[in-house]
Structure 1
Amino acid sequence: MQTAPHLENLPPYTPIEPFEVLSARYGRAPHEIIKLDANENPYGPSPRALSALARLEWAHIYPDPESRALRAALAEFLGVPMAHILAGAGADELIDLLLRVLLRPGERVLIAPPTFGMYAFDARLNGGEVIEIPRRPDFSLDLEAMAQAVSTYRPKAVLLASPNNPDGGLLDPDTLARLFTWPTLIVLDEAYIEFAEGGGRLGEALSNVRVPLERENVVVLRTFSKWAGLAGLRVGYGVFPAWLLPVLWKAKQPYNVNVAASAAAIASLEDLDRLAERVDRLRRERERLFTLLQTIPYLEPLPSQANFILCRVLDRPARALKEALAAAGIFVRYFDTPYLKNYLRISVGRPEHSDALIATLRRLGDDPQSA
């Protein structure tokens, strides 16, 4: 017996581990761990979401396969017709679903690394090939090279995040306008848009969720994981042009959004003022943390429009620094890849998390051998 040949050499995606695994591995109680490695919201779900979970009445009944109540609430929130919205078990599921219906074996997608690893992973998982046009040293897109690649390779989709993970850069309106004219599907992942400056209460002024109503080659994906603190429940959504929806509905798993995730997401949309205040708190803490990181002589932080900050490590291996921080109970993400050599990505936490991180970084700076 044999698995599908294209999966034999598929590089695995490396996920971040939860509190209980880190607790067991490092011998620290979960409340002693400062988890800044997965861009999670340190304030957790809103009180209304927690209350909705506590009152959950129909957990023994399969969920609505069309997520109608959630999609109706999203339609009101976004000002987008419900018919254009599809909900998923996180935006990750929708990326996989979209590539599953788009790609035949050997067909291509285009990405601009460094970026979210699931784009390439899901393309290869579904038998596709990945064309990579690296970002410039400042992490901006090389639009000329990308346009040439679209012309040469005719990819079925271009997958981009705005703000981008891991650098936190936001695509400007002129760049987006140019991308939307390309003769391919533009998949715009707005997982972090709520944290961008100038976007209003929850990113509404910067979001492109209405573009798929006007352009047949644009999809916009968003999630409740970050701004609403529901990462553990896995609930996201996409706004799609009309021509894509019939095949997506046929191809998706019937009960993909569970009843707990749906209830918590709907309750979050009824608690926007509180969640917007938390997002604003994280924006302010991001700026404070950025200023503090600039005082660490062996780090070079990049400005970010997301809820994380990418830092180049200047005089020591990033992996060793990550491990030294982990030994102190502080967990961050490190990168050492062809497109991102010797970097740490630090999620924005509560002020006390930033203070503990900076104190530890200063101590490690005084004793480089410990990192």
Structure 2
Amino acid sequence: MKTATRFNNFPPYTPIEPFEVLSKRLDLKPEEIIKLDANENPYGPAPAVKKVLADLPYPHIYPDPESRELRSALADFCGLDMEYLLAGAGADELIDLLLRVILEPGETVINCPPTFGMYSFDTRLNFGRVIEVERKTDFSLDIPAIKKQVIQNQAKIIFITSPNNPDGSILSDEDFNELIQLPTLIVLDEAYIEFTGDTVAEWQTASRLRRVAELDNLIVLRTFSKWAGLAGLRVGYGAFPLWMMPTLWAAKQPYNVNVAGNAAALASLGSIAFLEKNIQNIRQERERLFEKLSQIPYLNPFPSFSNFILCEVLGINALDLKNELMKSGIFIRYYQTTRLENMVRFSVGTPDQTEILIQVLEKIL
């Protein structure tokens, strides 16, 4: 017996080490760890989430396979009819589902690195071919190169993240308008869109989700992991063209959003004022962190519209910097790629976490 040959040299996705694993491996108490490596919300979920999780009435009953209550609440939140919306076990599940129903074996997907690693991972998992069009030095998109590859390879999908992970740049209106005219699906991942403004009104203005109703080749993905602090519960959603919805419904796992995640997402949508305040705090701390990182002689931070800041490391090895911070219980993201080998990414933490981080960075010369 053996596994399928296509997995013989399949490159796995490299996730961040879980909190409890770090604690045990380093013999540190959880409260001694400053985890700035996975863009998690340092303030956690709304109090209402903890209450509903403690009081779940029917954990022994399967969830609604259509997530109707959640999709209805999301329709009100987003300003888009629920018929366009599909909920999933994180946006990751929806990326995989989309590729499963769109790609024929060997068909092409355009990826624009450096960016989120799941696009290329899931494309290969679903028998697709990845063509990478590198971003420019300022992390903006190379639109002429994308157009060329779309036409030459009859690409089925282009994945774009805005704000982009790992640098925090946003997709300009000019670039969006050029991309949407291409004969391909545009998948816009807005996992971090809530960090572009202080209020729901500002988030929805920045988002292009509502344009799905008028554009047959646009898909927009969102998540509760970042802004709502539900990363551990895996709840995401997407807006899809209506022509695609019957196939998505037919192909998705029937009970993909569990009862805990569903309840937590609904409680989050009922706690907007609390979560808006958290976002405001994170945005304020992002600007303060940027200024402080700018004062570290060996760091060159890039402006960000998200809840993290990418830094070029000057004069010292970026991996050595990561390992040195780890000795103090501070965890940041290092990328083992040629484009990012001299860079690290800091998630925005609490003000106290920022102070400890800066103190340690100042001692490393």
Give the TM-score category using the shorter length: over 0.9
Tell me by how many angstroms 1:338 deviates: 2.2
Q: Contact between 2:198 and 2:280, CA under 8 Å: does it hold in 1?
A: no
Tell me by how many angstroms 1:223 deviates: 0.1
Q: Which residue of 2 aligns with 1:247?
A: 247
Tell me by how many angstroms 1:202 deviates: 5.5
Distance in 1 of aligned mates of 2:131 and 2:150? 9
SS across alignment from 2:300: strand
Instruction: State the AA in 2 paired with 1:6.
Output: R
Q: Contact between 2:228 and 2:268, CA under 8 Å: does it hold in 1?
A: yes
Q: Which residue of 1 aligns with 2:49?
A: 49
Instruction: Write out per-residue CA displacement over residues 241-267 of structure 1, whole angstroms, 9 at most, x where no aligned residue.
Output: 001111111111111000000000001
Tell me by how many angstroms 1:339 deviates: 2.3
SS across alignment from 2:205: coil
Structure 1 length normalisation: TM-score? 0.97
Q: Which residue of 2 aligns with 1:353?
A: 353
Distance in 2 of aligned mates of 1:27 and 1:320? 21
Tell me by how many angstroms 1:341 deviates: 2.2
Q: Which residue of 1 aligns with 2:154?
A: 154
Q: Which residue of 2 aligns with 1:91?
A: 91
Q: 1:335 to 1:206 in 2, by over 3 A?
A: same
Q: 1:259 to 1:202 in 2, by over 3 A?
A: farther
Distance in 2 of aligned mates of 1:280 and 1:89? 27
Distance in 2 of aligned mates of 1:156 and 1:49? 39
Distance in 2 of aligned mates of 1:281 and 1:321? 27
Instruction: State the AA in 2 paired with 1:42.
Output: P
Q: Which residue of 2 aligns with 1:282?
A: 282
Tell me by how many angstroms 1:2 deviates: 2.9
Distance in 2 of aligned mates of 1:276 and 1:202? 11
Per mean C-alpha deviation after superposition, the further-off stretch among 171-180 and 160-169 is 171-180
Distance in 2 of aligned mates of 1:50 and 1:208? 31
Aligned-pair Cα RMSD in Å? 1.1
Instruction: Write out per-residue CA displacement over residues 125-177 of structure 1, whole angstroms, 9 at most, x where no aligned residue.
Output: 11111000101111111000111111101111000100000010001111111
Instruction: State the AA in 2 paired with 1:113.
Output: P
Tell me by how many angstroms 1:201 deviates: 4.9
Q: Contact between 2:200 and 2:276, CA under 8 Å: does it hold in 1?
A: no
- 1:311-326 equivalences in 2 (<5 Å): 311-326=311-326
Q: 1:201 to 1:271 in 2, by over 3 A?
A: same
Per mean C-alpha deviation after superposition, the further-off stretch among 332-341 and 10-19 is 332-341
Instruction: Write out per-residue CA displacement over residues 322-370 of structure 1, whole angstroms, 9 at most, x where no aligned residue.
Output: 01101100000011312222110100000011110000000112xxxxx
Matched, 1:340 2:355: no
Instruction: State the AA in 2 paired with 1:354.
Output: T
Tell me by how many angstroms 1:116 deviates: 0.2
Tell me by how many angstroms 1:272 deviates: 0.4
Q: Contact between 1:336 and 1:343, CA under 8 Å: does it hold in 2?
A: no
Distance in 1 of aligned mates of 2:174 and 2:197? 17
Distance in 2 of aligned mates of 1:184 and 1:5? 30
Q: Contact between 1:191 and 1:222, CA under 8 Å: does it hold in 2?
A: yes
Matched, 1:25 2:30: no
SS across alignment from 2:286: helix
Q: Contact between 1:201 and 1:276, CA under 8 Å: does it hold in 2?
A: no
Q: Contact between 1:310 and 1:343, CA under 8 Å: does it hold in 2?
A: yes
Q: Which residue of 1 aligns with 2:34?
A: 34
SS across alignment from 2:335: strand
Tell me by how many angstroms 1:204 deviates: 1.1
Q: Which residue of 1 aligns with 2:124?
A: 124
Tell me by how many angstroms 1:48 deviates: 1.1
Report percent identity of matched pairs. Answer: 58
Instruction: Write out per-residue CA displacement over residues 306-331 of structure 1, whole angstroms, 9 at most, x where no aligned residue.
Output: 10000011111111110110110000
Distance in 1 of aligned mates of 2:196 and 2:5? 42
Query: How many positions carry a matched residue from both structures?
Result: 365
Q: Which residue of 1 aligns with 2:213?
A: 213
Instruction: State the AA in 2 paired with 1:48.
Output: A
Q: Which residue of 1 aligns with 2:269?
A: 269
Distance in 1 of aligned mates of 2:160 and 2:358? 32
Tell me by how many angstroms 1:199 deviates: 7.4
Q: Contact between 1:199 and 1:206, CA under 8 Å: does it hold in 2?
A: no
Instruction: Write out per-residue CA displacement over residues 201-253 of structure 1, whole angstroms, 9 at most, x where no aligned residue.
Output: 56111101111110110000000000000000000000000011111111111
Instruction: State the AA in 2 paired with 1:212.
Output: V
Structure 2 unmatched runs, 5+: none
